[in-house]
Chains A and B, each alone.
Chain A
């Protein structure tokens, strides 16, 4: 692989010194992990990278690509069972190989800062964040007690935390996602290290919070700090990085200036990654390379596709739901939401965490009964039906969750999971349930060989396919997809989204598609409902919402969304 050279002119580059000094360099970096049984696994294969002062390079790849291990090797924290070797691994000319623990401790935090994802778990949940920042200072013997106290507040202010005195005394759990992520950044940069390694710093954050954090990182860059950004999200990377290194299976498959990699990807894998990102532009197109597989016309749709004058499949009227918190106080989390879902249609519900969208999903499934308002199915009582009536309707409304694994009984293999649903959907099928399960698997792009597998042993994409297979096993008219693709790598997500589209086309099923991801929502939905704090702030067709948002919250959401320069990308794609 080629060594990254940052030469390409970029709009940002003018604010930086023209050619920074070489801060960090790795040549031929290899990492192996030793397993329990002594066997070695090669996880980073001959990676070369180079970071110059004031620059930002990004390592991009999907899970298992080795990007995080690479980053950790740079601070000597690859793990006890890791073997790290390199032709050269240098920090400002000093080698990093074979260094003692005490040497590393002096480097970490003072010369290289390290930021992990999700401060909720990356900061000690039992301690106030101020103490964590203070610790970074005291560990390196910085200043007096009073000086450190001031420095903590100063650093918090630096990363844009308001009321730093108050926040310093609070624990991560008491802070909002954005504030605690900034506190985490503060703890890593308190001593102003020249280099900051940020490992998925915005993952798991709401889009508006993500925008804030990216802003903080941008400011750091502006102050001359060099950044190594690790991310799976090309759009995030595009906002910051001067150069991008794309990793796949431990190797760097493509490296180059950001604009070049994003607009003229050379490697098919890079191309594939870019294509897989759903957005308003991809609506109605396939995201993944593979064709829709649909070998079995398993069943006729339960009703012919369109009865124009029938009642909506699912109709929620002014639904309200509250819960009692652990402190005994009741909080209303859904405040009068109404929607309707027609046959063959996809209704997207988008919102940030805490917006009440998952509760809406549970109410739509009649797993919760609304405090007031009701949900009707084809005009019949559903949320307030008797258990016996509900039992009948349940087979016609299926669900796919974000985490399929937790929705499978850990004692069951794929075959049992599917036959259970098949038999329940139609007891007549019991005798040939296994055959039907195999057919279902083929429908969702798996094979009969997967029948005897444990879900735990499958990849995330495969598990989600099994979950979808289970959802369609009862031949439902509605499928509720609750963040169904949020936990997947982008290329897998693309495949699953394509699969869902195919299924909808062929089965005429309706989707209630719940996601925090605006791109996915736009890609999938016919109509969209935007939720904030339990209220449906805006509802309309997908294009109305995305191109002409009325509500200020919707507008804010869309502004926060990092996007690639799609026009450029499309151009590149067409010129290929």
Chain B
């Protein structure tokens, strides 16, 4: 009998995701977000299923057609179907988003765990390096890497990934330190489990749990980031319809062909939004805040 408020509040705490999903009523916004993500995943995996035209075939006779029945989202200045280009650009854009997160989390995991768990003489230097990298402008890190690797999807992915690594590393470190002090880690130690087992069974998975949502969130943000680099002319080689490149190219025609700028932008927003929504939802579930 501790907290008088517990009796009117739903128990906050933790439980397995699966069982929670089963009992929690999923909000409409999450359903819509999941549908959007599904749409984009299909577009990335099998663009031809969703596209209506070729994304690369030019048709100089129908350049800058406004959105219509034939070209749902209009055409660009050399007659390519914008809708199909957005669909075909999904793979590149999502790959950059997902890949950047993979890079960021791979780096951040190693750095974060080491900084939190390694002996002082290892952890301290890593903490220092993290501190230096955090003081570095993220965009500059990305710029340097693009300059180093040349403009391509791969270098965008690596640049955005590495640029955001220090931030995530610090989060993982903080999370690991928190889990390290938790009751169940102590319980496992008291039970007689050696450190490696405690790490594998408890620390690593639980430190990651609240970050699962962050990954989804980061995918959306990475797409935005990468498109920003494309916008600065550090993007993917044409004619790739990567979204940032579409925005860059559409800018010149915006006064007469608004669709070239609006729709790719909306695609980016939609991806960022739906991934963020799902990310937050997963995070809430993981932290037990979902009702």
Contacts and interface: CB of A to CB of B under 8 A. Distances in A.
Interface of A: 33, 36-37, 43, 62-66, 68-69, 79, 82, 116-117, 199-200, 203-204, 230, 232, 365, 367, 387, 391-392, 394-395, 397-399, 401, 403, 405-411, 413, 420-421, 424, 454, 456-457, 470, 474, 487-490
Contact of A203 (B4, B182, B188, B205): B4
Given A63-B1, A394-B190, A394-B191, A405 B13 contact: yes
Interface in B1-57: 1-8, 11, 13-16, 19, 25
**Interface size for chain B: under 10, 10 to 19, 20 to 34, or 35 or more residues?**
20 to 34
B71 interface: no
Contact of B186 (A33, A116, A367, A387): A367
Given A36-B25, A63-B6, A408 B184 contact: yes
B291 A409 contact: no
Contact of B192 (A43, A230, A394, A405): A394
B25 A200 contact: no
Contact of A399 (B6, B190, B206): B190
Contact of B7 (A36, A63, A456, A487): A63
Contacts of B1: 62-63, 203, 232, 487-490
A410 B205 CA distance: 10
Contact of A424 (B15, B183, B184, B192): B192
A68 B1 CA distance: 12
B206 A69 contact: no
Contact of B191 (A37, A116, A398): A398
A406 B192 contact: no
Contacts of B119: none
Residue from B1, B19, B205, B209 whose CB has the most chain A CB atoms within 10 Å: B1
Given A203-B1, A454-B15, A406 B182 contact: yes
A410 B206 contact: yes
B8 A407 contact: no
22 contacts: A62-B1, A63-B1, A69-B8, A200-B4, A203-B1, A203-B2, A367-B189, A399-B187, A401-B183, A408-B184, A409-B188, A410-B15, A410-B209, A411-B14, A411-B206, A413-B16, A424-B192, A424-B193, A454-B16, A456-B15, A487-B1, A489-B1
Interface string B209-222: 10000000000000
A142 B14 CA distance: 46
B194 interface: yes
Contacts of A230: 4
Ranked nearest first, the 10 interchain pairs of A and B with the lowest CB-CB distance are A410-B14, A394-B192, A406-B183, A407-B183, A407-B187, A456-B15, A409-B184, A68-B4, A232-B1, A454-B15
A403 B83 CA distance: 56
A470 B190 CA distance: 11
B183 A403 contact: yes
B202 interface: yes
B186 to A, nearest CB: 6
Contact of B14 (A398, A456, A487): A456
Contacts of B291: 36
Contacts of A232: 1
Nearest to B7: A64
B201 interface: yes
Contact of B184 (A36, A392, A407, A474): A407
Nearest to A460: B1
Contacts of B206: 409-411
B249 to A, nearest CB: 47
B205 A411 contact: yes
Contacts of B5: 68
Contacts of B190: 365, 367, 394, 397-399
A256 to B, nearest CB: 23
Contacts of B201: 409, 420
A68 B193 contact: no
